[in-house]
Structure formats: C-alpha cells, structure tokens
Amino acid sequence: MQLIDGKALAQKVHTHVAEEVEKLKQEKNVVPGLAVILVGDDPASHAYVKMKAKACEKVGFYSITHNMPDTISQDEIIQIIEMMNNNPHIDGILVQLPLPKHIDTDKILEVIDPKKDVDGFHAYNVGRMVTNLDSFVPCTPLGVMEMFKAYDIDLEGKDVCVVGASNIVGKPMASLVLNANATVTVTHIYTKDLKAHTSRADIVIVGVGVPGLIKEDMVKEGAVVIDIGINRLEDGSLVGDVDFKNVSKKCSYITPVPGGVGPMTIAMLLSNTLKSAKQRA
Ligand code: GUN
C-alpha cells in the first residue's frame, strides 16, 4: 500500500505558484488577487477561509475577505460580487459555501464573472468542463486529478466509482475521470446497493461526509481509494469517509485524512487564481 501524500504535493504546487507570481510581478507588473465572500458564522467555513487567506499571503497574492453577517440580503451579496467583478485587481472570486438558507446559492453563483470563477461553480465553466474545453475546474476534484498525475495512476479504461453526487465534488469528479477515459459509476444516497458498486471498482472516490462509510469489505484487493471526506469526531479528531485502518490494508494507493485531498483543494485554488491572473496579464 502506498500513501498518497497530499500535503507534500500541495507544497510543491505552492512553491511553483509562488515562483510564477514573482515572474508575473516582474514581467507584467500583475499581482494575482482573490476576493473571498464569507457569510455567517459557521466555524468550519471560517476555518477554511482563514486557511485560504493564509495560503494567498504565502504565495504573494493580494487577497480580501468580505465577512458578512447571516442577516445580509441576497441583493447585498450580489452588489459585492458585482463590485469584485468590476475590480481590476481581483482575478478570482470565491463565495464560501454553504450559504444561509434565505440565500439562493444558484443565483449567487451565476452572478460571478465566469472569467473570475476560480471555484469553477458557474454554469458556464461547468458546461465547458463537461465538454472537455478549457475552463476553471472545481478545486477539490482538480486536486484529485493532480494526485493521479503525480502518482502515475492511469485512468484510461479503469472502473471508477464516485460516491457522492454534489455539484462541488461528485459531479465534477465524475466528469473529469470520464474525460480521462474511465468508466464511471456515480452513487448517492438513493443508490440501492452501494457495496455492489464500490467493490467492483478499480478506483473509489468518496466525498459525502459520513465517517467510516467505506469499509474493508466494500473495496477490492489492490484498489485505489481517494477519501475526500473531512469529519470532526466528538473527541476532536479529524477522519475521512473511509475506515482507513482496515481499508488501507487492501489498497494499492490511499489518501490519508488529514494530509490527503484537503491540502490539494487550497493548492488548486491558488493554481486557478494564478491562471486567471495570467489571462488578465
Ligand atoms: N465549501 C466546501 N467546499 C468548498 C469549495 O471548494 N469552495 C467553496 N467556495 N465553498 C466550499
């Protein structure tokens, strides 16, 4: 079994991005800028946004966080997004999800200028991704694809089972592996027999937020297991959606939690923002 070290891989990306930022500053006088919009006081969202801002600072980006109370109206959020759309120093706009219930998330995401949509959530980018055209690709699935590349895990002709069908993770993940010529099965909460699908897959990718969902008897010998789940248990520890201790014995490759896919998500946000800044330059 080989561990896929997301932390080390993410560090490599950070170093590369920082070098590219330096070049961009010197050659084009452009500093990549990221605007983050955070609504409400969900502790996990605050923690993620803080990590994103810190990563931006480390690689030399300009970043601002618009921190709003959950009493804010939808129109006020739209106004801020429009301001960021028109701000020439901003290359990327990220609205941290989930938003409070009174806000229509689809509507908000549609307001973001697709050229600044570094999360890849706008329907324009989703459509381009599905049709395999150049686009901004959601950071978590993109990070998983980078892991496959870095570890020479070939997807062509492989049976891939994606567990979870969210717009942020499962659906884009399925599109990307399909574009890489894998045969894809997407399972979700209405799937009748999850084990029947996971146990025949060469590669299992899970991101649903259920600790220990994927057990030893649900994966085949030699499978590649990618764990996108991040769950905090009552004792304060962080675990994924995979029963790591038992499943890892059967795998050829597996991602740990923490230190697996998580760090890659932020690395890909930096990479997408850099890409946008280069397009501006
Ligand atoms: N909430 C959970 N994951 C993400 C993400 O990748 N981007 C944003 N904007 N919100 C999230």
* Total domains in the fold of the chain: 2
Q: Six-digit token pair at 206?
A: 């899970």
Report which ligand 1 atom has the smallest distance to the Cα of 98: 1
> Residue 21: helix, strand or coil by DSSP?
helix
pLDDT above 70 coverage of the chain, percent: 100
Write down the pLDDT at residue 235. 96
Is 275 a member of any domain?
no
Which tens digit of pLDDT belongs to each residue from 76-92?
Answer: 999 999 999 999 999 99
- Say if residue 71 is in the same domain as residue 175: no
Is 186 a member of any domain?
yes
- Say if residue 64 is in the same domain as residue 178: no
For residue 202, the enclosing domain spans: 139-262
Give the end of a domain, one of 105, 127, 149.
127
Write down the pLDDT at residue 189. 97
What single letter denotes the amino acid at residue 226?
A: I
- Say if residue 154 is in the same domain as residue 249: yes
Going from the Cα of 98 to the center of ligand 1, the distance in angstroms, rounded, reads 8
Write down the pLDDT at residue 278. 98
- Say if residue 209 is in the same domain as residue 249: yes
Most ligand 1 atoms within 8 A of CB, residue of 168, 231, 268 to mutate: 168
- Say if residue 123 is in the same domain as residue 143: no
- Torsion angles phi and psi, residue 167, rounded to 5: -70, -25
- Say if residue 117 is in the same domain as residue 163: no
Instruction: Give me the CATH number covering residue 94.
Output: 3.40.50.10860
Give the end of a domain, one of 98, 127, 156.
127
Residue with tokens 């109370």: 69
Banded pLDDT at 173 (limits 50, 70, 90): very high
How far, in Å, CA of 114 to CA of 120, rounded? 8
pTM: 0.98
